Amino acid sequence: MKSTFIELKIKSYSYSKSRFNFVLLNRLNGIKNLFAFLALLVLSNLVNAQEKQQDSTKIETLDEVLVKAVRVEATSPITHSNVTKDQLQKRNLGQDIPVLLNYLPSVVTTTDAGAGVGYTGIRIRGINAQSTNITINGIPYNDAESLGTFWVNLGDFASSVESLQLQRGVGTSTNGSGAFGASINILTEAVSNEANAEISNSFGSYNTRKHTVKFSTGKLNDHFEIAGRLSQIKSDGYIDRATSDLKSYFLQAAYVDGNTLIKALTFGGKEITYQSWYGLEDLDLLENNRTFNVAGIYTDDEGNTLFYDNEVDNYNQDHYQLHWNQRMNSNWSANLGLNYTYGRGYFEQYKEDEDFADYNLEEITIGGETVNTTDLIRRRWLDNDFYVINTNVNYKNENLNLTFGTSYSSYDGDHFGEIIWAKYASDSEIRDHYYDSNGKKKDFSSFVKATYRLNDKFSLYGDLQLRLVDYKTNGLTSDRIPFNVNEHYNFFNPKVGITYRLNAINHLYFSYARANREPNRDDFENNATVKPEQLNDFELGWRHDTKNFRIYTNLYYMHYNEQLVLTGNIDNVGNPIRTNSGESYRFGLEVEAEIKLSDNFSIQPNFTISSNKNKETVASIDGDLVNLGKTNISFSPQFVGANTLIFQPNKNLQVSFLSKYVGEQYMGNTNAEASKLDSYFVNDLNVTYQLSFLDNEKSQPFFKSIVFSGLINNMFNEKYISNGYYYTYDDTWSDQNQVTTIEGAGYYPQATTNFLIGVTLKF
């Protein structure tokens, strides 16, 4: 009878799956047996599982169900770090999420404006941001076309984060563009049982200030909750005129009923930032006037140097999410997620002596002279819609944890440019577009992942993902070059791993994962023959965890085929340019620890030692193609280290001394000395003190608590540079017909000593 039951279930599964995705099974007939095997495994466990609730099994909260499909457990063979809400809030005084994650292992952060507000970036294991997968409640956040993550669009989002998990390496299967070196999975705030409210204000250097108001009704009638946040962050920036004006909101309505959680969320932001993405190429300015900003510079008719006052990026982004989390019993849970994101905005530039032909304008004659150039102000627009549907089903018993997941997304983005003022307008009309382009991207993925406990010592991990991507463009680039892409990608990403439990405090793990990733829009614009990249990731780790001492070590080897590495150069809007590099690898050792010296004092060090190489690099030097052999991968320091000293004399006061060291790194892939960034060592001091008013049981205080926070960044006044760019071009001397390679570099100086102080009133 048991055998007949299993056969019927497998037939039903195969029939429903073939109806659901006939095309996918036809394309990948070779893996049908793998899916069938996993189905057999779970059905066998279902037959043997007890129908009653298992009190010995930990049941996740319904909020955890929301991100279960893209997160891993503490003992999984995936290298990861977890960050809690409390850890984020201690330094959350206005800086972006990448800066708040700066002290995690293998992390390097940077900011255009120099002080952590505005455009910020994060690299993990030397891997650029386009290769880091970001999800919010399981919904992809990376821009579908550029694959980048623009945290500036969600100012103060850290105030609405319940927890996040950073996975290094390929990690587990996730939704959206595949993780190609790291992923960050964010869970927004959980449902609060009690009503509460907060008012937070912070102020600091460069006229930086953050104002936040939060509230929650708590559970009304034991079922309903409404929570929200409004924030504004403003800063003049360390770099001249690199101002930021960030407004954001978060609103959540939730229904909870036993095993059901339904959440409707909307969040978003509007940012206006003065451009500072060009850096500094002049070494004299870098030495003597390192805050100088070339953005917006122009000369008037008298030859005076001026700066355009509205050289800004102006963008709105709104997200709407609906999540239904359902626990059927102690074994089964499921999640349905829907998302719509609407983004629109532009960046504005003053341009001198622009050719009419570049804007589709006709030459004009004034006073008998032909005019074919003009000063003008232009806006380059992006207007896009992004739809996502996710479904995940999880089954868990004492030995098996299995998840099925499916995600589908559709992106439609319009790119266009318009001239809003011109000294000589030619035949242009108001709201004329001088270029138009459209990009459409459809992304379907389906995965099944399982952790199976063989016995008290061994557990196995398996993860199979199928991802189909269609990307099409038409129209013209911003340089009025025809841009027509029609690409289809079929990616199969398997992952396996094993965890060995030596004893209660020691675990060993090993994992292998393959990842495939498509090029982004900029890659196609810069090279029509660009190839997708492939990664084989091997991770070997040891976890030792006791009450007073924790150490995690991890050895990784990431072997790439056609990795899209940063060339070092940037385009005319500050976007990094990438190129395929053939074979390359990243080989490293990561160590992180926590040592509790006493009840009041602890140390949390981490470091990464790595070798990051292109196996063969060919470059044009003085007109000749030269094989440079093995070279360093750009923006990949060999050593990155951090340490946090925490002193907590009582439960209300905490003092943290944070240190970060980043070794020297090359901005290009040719080991050129001109492309080298020096190492730097930066130290911060963070203090938090809480006054609690809940200890007096005889009265009901107006405030639950008041939290004072202070942060001194770069307290030893290090003049350092965390990011830059490197470029080369060939110059031909006509009289000798000699070709000489000219090289240059630009740098993004970071702020010297600066501070932020804040106070939070909790009701």
Helix or strand (DSSP H, E) at 33: helix 32-48
Are the CB atoms for 534 and 559 separated by under 8 Å? no
Q: Report d(CA 614, CA 585) in Å as an integer.
A: 7
d(CA 576, CA 573): 9
Q: Is 228 helix (H, G, I), strand (E, B) or coil?
A: strand
- Rounded-to-integer distance, Cα 649 and Cα 653, Å: 7
Residues, the chain, total? 763
Q: How far apart are CA 724 and CA 675, in angstroms?
A: 9
- Report residue 565 CA to chain centroid gap: 17
Per-residue pLDDT at 43: 41
What's the confidence (pLDDT) of residue 700?
66
Positions of the chain with pLDDT lower than 70, given as ranges: 1-61, 64, 695-700, 733-736
DSSP state string for 178-225? PPSEEEEEEEEPPPPSS-EEEEEEEEEGGGEEEEEEEEE---BTTTEE
Query: What end-to-end distance do the CA atoms of the chain give, in Å?
Result: 61
34 three-class SS: helix
CA atoms within 13 A on the CB side of 342: 4
Cβ burial of 695 (10 Å; 0-12, 13-18, 19+) is exposed
DSSP labels, 457-498? SEEEEEEEEEEEEEEEEEEB-TTS-B---EEEEEEEEEEEEE
Closest CA to 168 of 181, 185, 177, 178: 181
Beta strands in 693-762 (DSSP E): 705-713, 721-733, 738-749, 754-762
- pLDDT of res. 733: 64
Name which of 627, 631, 761 is nearest 704 in CA terms: 761
Letter for the amino acid at 192?
Answer: S
Helix (H) or strand (E) holding 299: strand 297-299
| pLDDT score for 41 | 40
Cβ 198 vs Cβ 121: under 8 Å: no
Tokens 């355009």 sit on residue: 308
Q: Residue 233 pairs with which residues in a beta bridge? A: 210, 246
- Containing 268, the helix (H) or strand (E) segment is strand 260-274
pLDDT of residue 70: 85
Q: Is 414 exposed, middle or buried (0-12, 13-18, 19+ CB in 10 A)?
A: middle
- Closest of 449, 400, 458, 462 to residue 47, by C-alpha: 400
* Distance separating alpha carbons of residues 156 and 232, to the nearest angstrom: 8
Q: 391 by DSSP, 3-state: which? A: strand
Cα separation values, 469 from 113, 445, 492, 517, 581, Å? 35, 9, 12, 10, 22
φ and ψ at residue 103, rounded to 5 degrees: -100, 10
For residues 384 and 659, give the distance between their C-alpha atoms in angstroms, rounded to a whole number.
40
CA distance 134 to 341: 15
* DSSP H or E segment with residue 65: helix 62-67
Q: Which helix (H) or strand (E) holds 32?
A: helix 32-48
Write down the number of H helices and E strands in the chain: 8, 40
Burial string for 6-17 (b: 16+ CB within 10 Å, else e) reads beebeeebeeeb
Question: What are 601's two structure tokens?
Answer: 């004092």
For residue 511, give the nearest of 467, 549, 471, 557 by alpha carbon: 557
CB contact burial 96-106 (16+ within 10 A = b; e otherwise)? bbbbbbbbbbb
pLDDT of residue 27: 39
Residue 58's pLDDT is 41
- How far apart CA 466 and CA 408 sit, in angstroms, is 12
User: What is the radius of gyration, based on Cα positions, of the chain?
Assistant: 27
Q: Which run of H or of E encompasses 401? A: strand 400-422
Residues 6+ apart with CB under 8 A from 228: 214, 215, 249, 250, 251, 252
Q: What is the signed CA dihedral for 70, 76, 81, 84, rounded to 10 degrees?
A: 70
Beta-carbon count within 10 A of 95 CB: 28
- State the pLDDT at residue 354: 95
| Distance in angstroms (rounded) separating the CA atoms of residues 644 and 621 | 45
Q: What is the pLDDT of residue 699?
A: 61
The Cα–Cα gap between 14 and 500 comes to 34
What torsion, rounded to 10 degrees, do the Cα atoms 671, 673, 674, 675 define? 40
Cβ–Cβ under 8 Å, residues 350 and 377: yes
- Whether the CB-CB separation of 198 and 761 falls below 8 Å is answered with yes
Helix (H, G, I), strand (E, B) or coil at 114: coil
As a whole number of angstroms, the distance between CA 630 and CA 612 comes to: 10
Q: Which of 432, 402, 369 is nearest to 172 (CA)?
A: 402
Name 560's bridge partners.
Answer: 535, 584
| Tens-place pLDDT, residues 639-680 | 999 999 999 999 999 999 999 999 999 999 999 999 999 999
Provide the pLDDT for residue 89. 94
Where b means 16+ CB within 10 Å and e means fewer, 534-551 reads bbebbbbbbbeeeeeebb
Q: Which residue from 632, 640, 541 is spatially nearest to 586, judged by alpha carbons?
A: 632
Cβ-based neighbour number of residue 526 at 10 Å? 16
> Model-level pTM?
0.89
